[in-house]
């Protein structure tokens, strides 16, 4: 059975819609949800990632949640393999795989069957040791010397991507961009639904979302994850909200530092939303639905539109 995909910027209600779709189909066809949010892969990172609590999943199976410890590195290639296997297994059971999330590379690598450049654990380990010795800034300077074009698009503090770029350049002898993943043909011809909102409304939702995260205990969640190695996690430590709270804790966790963390989290999320929009809007397969209005009637219309698109694709 072909999967149904729901994508879109953070804060547009993708997870809630997925559960509503599964409820609507209950008794007709089983639905299993596959997460496509990179940070929801991590155990214990619940509040700041917007992970749907177990009690609110209504018994619907969810895949690719809580599969990594915070010290493990999440990779697009690893996710692609695991999530593709989940989707194939769900379909083989006669159920509908419902892919939901906003992590851009994760979604596209899965739907379009990307092929990734080779890896060499020994080379990677050497660059990771170099990172531990000199820090992210000096390692990034090494990338500037070896591949200026790659360094120009990889942020100075993104040590994981810097290490990967240096690894690929050394393996291939070519610029990192020349070894970018090859985009294959669509894997399943999935119906792809995009949710978005008017910018003003979404900004208000993001502000409310950020406040709710902190009110529900994001700071305490971060503190509880520090003994588990959150600060050492190459990927997990970069998550929006978590990175800002860790900085506030380093600064003494006074009221001013925590207020700054809230503001920075909201601002960083708004920036991320702009990148999500830019990325997803390039895909002409996406049928966009306006989630600005939140009335029951409008929500019902969205559900019907999603189901209609899925039935036509099937």
Q: Give yes or no for a contact between 115 and 184, defined as CB atoms under 8 angstroms apart.
A: yes
Binding residues for substrate: 10-15
Give whichever of 4-8, 172-176, 187-191, 310-314 has the largest mean pLDDT: 4-8
- When pLDDT is averaged across residues 224-233 and rounded to a whole number, the result is 97
CA distance 25 to 296: 18
- CA separation for the pair 83, 86 (Å, rounded): 5
Name the strand (E) or helix (H) holding 288. Answer: strand 287-290
* Pick among 2.30.30.90, 3.40.630.30, 1.10.20.140, 3.40.50.620: CATH of 121-179: 1.10.20.140
Binding-site sequence positions: 8-15
Share of the chain above pLDDT 70, in %: 97
- pLDDT reported for residue 160: 87
pLDDT value for 185: 67
Instruction: Supply the mean pLDDT for the chain.
Output: 93
CATH dotted code for 4-115+183-313: 3.40.50.300
Domain boundaries, given as residue ranges, for the chain:
4-115+183-313, 121-179
Task: Say whether pLDDT at 184 is over 70.
Answer: no
pLDDT band, very low/low/confident/very high, at 188 (cuts 50, 70, 90): confident
CB-neighbour burial class of residue 313 (10 A; exposed 0-12, middle 13-18, buried 19+) = middle
- The gap between the terminal CA atoms of the chain, to the nearest Å, is 8
- The reported pLDDT for the residue numbered 181 is 63
Residue 141 pLDDT > 80? yes
Residue 88 has pLDDT above 80, yes or no: yes
Give the contacts of 209 (CB within 8 A, at least 6 positions apart): 10, 11, 50, 269
Binding residues for ATP: 8-15
Strand (E) or helix (H) holding 33: strand 31-35
Radius of gyration of the chain (CA): 20
- Name the pLDDT band for 60 (thresholds 50, 70, 90): very high
Angstrom distance (rounded) from CA 142 to CA 149 = 12
Provide mean pLDDT across the span 279-293. 93
Per-residue pLDDT at 202:
96
pLDDT tens per residue, range 145-174: 999 999 998 988 889 899 999 999 998 888
Question: Residues 113-129: pLDDT tens digits?
Answer: 777 777 888 999 999 99
- The per-residue pLDDT for 20 is 96
């Amino acid at each position: 059975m072909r999967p149904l995909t729901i994508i879109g910027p953070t804060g547009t209600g993708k997870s809630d819609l997925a559960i509503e779709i599964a409820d609507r189909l209950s008794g007709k066809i089983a639905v299993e949800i596959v997460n496509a949010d990179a940070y929801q892969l991590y155990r214990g990172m619940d509040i700041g990632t917007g992970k749907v609590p177990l009690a609110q999943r209504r018994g619907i199976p969810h895949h690719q949640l809580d599969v990594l410890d915070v010290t493990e590195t999440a990779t697009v290639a690893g996710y692609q393999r695991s999530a593709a296997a989940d989707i194939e297994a769900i379909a083989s059971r006669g159920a509908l795989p419902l892919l939901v999330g906003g992590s851009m590379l994760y979604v596209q690598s899965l739907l379009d069957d990307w092929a990734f450049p080779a890896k060499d654990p020994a080379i990677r380990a050497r660059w990771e040791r170099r990172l531990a010795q000199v820090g992210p800034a000096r390692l990034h300077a090494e990338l500037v010397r070896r591949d200026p074009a790659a360094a120009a698009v990889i942020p100075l503090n993104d040590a994981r991507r810097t290490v990967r770029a240096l690894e690929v350049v050394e393996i291939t002898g070519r610029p990192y961009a020349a070894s970018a993943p090859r985009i294959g043909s669509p894997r399943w011809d999935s119906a792809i639904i995009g949710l978005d909102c008017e910018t003003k409304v979404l900004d208000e939702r993001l502000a409310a979302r950020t406040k709710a995260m902190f009110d529900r205990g994001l700071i305490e969640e971060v503190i509880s994850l520090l003994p588990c190695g959150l600060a050492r996690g190459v990927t997990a430590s970069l998550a929006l909200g978590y990175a800002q709270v860790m900085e506030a804790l380093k600064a003494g966790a006074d009221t001013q530092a925590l207020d700054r963390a809230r503001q920075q989290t909201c601002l960083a999320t708004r920036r991320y939303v702009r990148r999500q929009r830019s990325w997803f809007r390039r895909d002409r397969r996406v049928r966009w639905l306006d989630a600005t209005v939140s009335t029951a009637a409008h929500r019902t219309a969205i559900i019907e539109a999603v189901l209609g698109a899925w039935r036509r694709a099937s």
